[in-house]
C-alpha cells in the first residue's frame, strides 16, 4: 500500500494533461484542418469516402474522436485485432453518402476534399509526394478543378468523378489523361444537349401558355401551312438548333452540324466518333 504522499502524487499525475503549444489567436484567419491519426489507421483496412476530408468533418472527428464509434478489424500483417473507426457509423453521423447526389458535397467542399485528400494520400504513401497514391490524387482532382468551367460543370462531372476514382481503387488503374479528356468531352456534349432540350421545352411551354391565355385561339393563324409554302423563318431546326429552317430543310454546307448521339450496346456513339466510346 502506498503511503499518503506517494498516493497523492500518483493521483495528481493521473489528473494531468499533456502540455500543448499555444498559438496567437487570429479570428480572421481560417483554421488549418489536419488529418487525425484515426483516419490513417482506418485507411489501412477500408477505403474512406472522400466526404471525410472536408474541413468541417476533419474538425469534427478531431474534436469528438474519443466518443466516435469503433469496430474490430483483423490487422493486415498479423492475426491481431485492431480497433478502428466504424466508418459506416461515422459516415451516417456526418451525413456522408456516396449514393447521394454529388456525395452530399458542394463545389466548395469538393475543393477542400481535393487538398485534404492529397495531403492524406501523400503522407501515407511510402514514396511520399512521388508515390502512386499521391500522383493519382493530384492528377485526378487537378484535371477537373483546373478547368475554367469547373464550377459550372460540377453537377455533370461529379457522378463520373466517383466512377473514375472507384475504378482506380478497384483496378489499381493509373491516371490516364486521354481517358479523362474523353469523359470530359462526353459530359460537355451531354450538358449542351440537356440545356438545348430544356430550352426547347421551355419555348414550347411558353407558346402553349400564350395560346391558352388567348382562349386556345391565335388570330389569323391556320392549323397547318399550305403544302407549297416553306417553313417559317421563326422556326428552329431540331437537328442543329439554329433558327430559320426546319430539320427537313437542314443543309450541312449552310448550317451548323447536326447534334446527335445514340447508345450502341450500352455505350455512347457520337457524330465525330462512329464507334462506341470506352473509358
Residue 35 main-chain phi, psi, to 5 deg: -90, 115
131 close to 125: Cβ distance less than 8 angstroms: yes
Query: Is residue 31 classed as helix, strand or coil in its secondary structure?
Result: coil
Q: Cell 437542314 sits at which residue?
A: 250
Position 234 scores a pLDDT of 55
Position 279 scores a pLDDT of 39
33 close to 58: Cβ distance less than 8 angstroms: yes
Residue 11 main-chain phi, psi, to 5 deg: -65, -40
Position 86 scores a pLDDT of 96
Distance of CA 33 to the CA centre of its chain: 21
Write 179-183 long-range contacts (CB < 8 A, 24+).
179/279, 180/143, 182/277, 182/279, 183/279
Grid coordinates representing 129 are 509526394
99 close to 35: Cβ distance less than 8 angstroms: no
- Please spell the DSSP secondary structure of 196-253, one letter per residue: HHHHHHHHHHHHHHHHHHTTT--TT--SS--TTPPPPTT-B-TTT--BSS-GGG--TT
Q: Tens place of pLDDT for every residue, the chain, 279 residues? A: 567 777 777 777 777 777 767 777 777 666 788 999 999 999 999 999 999 999 999 999 999 999 999 999 876 666 778 889 999 999 999 999 999 999 999 999 999 999 999 999 999 999 999 999 999 999 999 999 999 999 999 999 999 999 999 999 899 989 999 999 999 999 999 999 989 998 888 888 888 888 777 765 555 445 545 544 444 455 667 667 677 777 667 677 777 776 666 555 555 555 555 454 443
Amino acid at each position: 500500500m502506498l503511503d499518503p504522499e506517494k498516493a497523492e502524487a500518483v493521483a495528481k499525475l493521473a489528473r494531468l494533461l499533456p502540455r500543448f503549444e499555444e498559438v496567437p489567436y487570429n479570428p480572421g484567419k481560417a483554421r488549418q484542418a489536419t488529418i487525425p491519426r484515426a483516419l490513417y489507421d482506418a485507411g489501412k483496412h477500408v477505403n474512406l469516402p472522400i466526404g471525410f476530408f472536408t474541413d468541417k468533418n476533419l474538425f469534427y472527428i478531431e474534436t469528438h474522436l474519443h466518443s466516435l464509434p469503433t469496430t474490430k478489424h483483423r490487422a493486415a500483417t498479423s492475426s491481431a485485432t485492431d480497433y478502428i473507426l466504424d466508418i459506416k457509423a461515422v459516415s451516417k453521423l456526418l451525413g456522408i453518402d456516396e449514393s447521394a447526389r454529388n456525395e452530399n458535397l458542394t463545389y466548395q467542399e469538393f475543393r477542400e476534399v481535393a487538398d485534404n485528400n492529397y495531403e492524406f494520400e501523400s503522407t501515407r504513401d511510402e514514396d511520399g509526394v512521388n508515390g502512386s497514391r499521391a500522383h493519382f490524387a493530384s492528377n485526378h482532382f487537378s484535371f477537373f478543378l483546373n478547368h475554367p468551367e469547373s464550377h459550372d460543370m460540377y453537377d455533370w462531372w461529379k457522378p463520373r468523378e466517383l466512377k473514375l476514382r472507384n475504378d482506380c481503387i478497384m483496378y489499381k488503374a493509373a491516371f490516364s489523361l486521354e481517358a479523362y479528356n474523353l469523359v470530359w468531352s462526353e459530359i460537355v456534349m451531354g450538358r449542351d444537349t440537356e440545356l438545348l432540350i430544356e430550352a426547347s421545352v421551355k419555348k414550347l411551354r411558353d407558346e402553349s401558355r400564350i395560346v391558352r391565355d388567348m382562349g386556345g385561339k391565335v388570330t389569323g393563324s391556320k392549323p397547318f401551312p399550305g403544302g407549297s409554302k416553306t417553313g417559317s423563318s421563326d422556326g428552329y431546326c431540331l437537328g442543329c438548333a439554329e433558327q430559320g429552317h426546319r430539320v427537313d430543310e437542314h443543309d450541312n454546307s449552310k448550317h451548323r452540324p447536326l447534334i446527335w448521339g445514340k447508345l450502341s450496346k450500352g455505350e455512347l456513339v457520337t457524330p465525330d466518333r462512329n464507334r462506341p466510346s470506352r473509358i
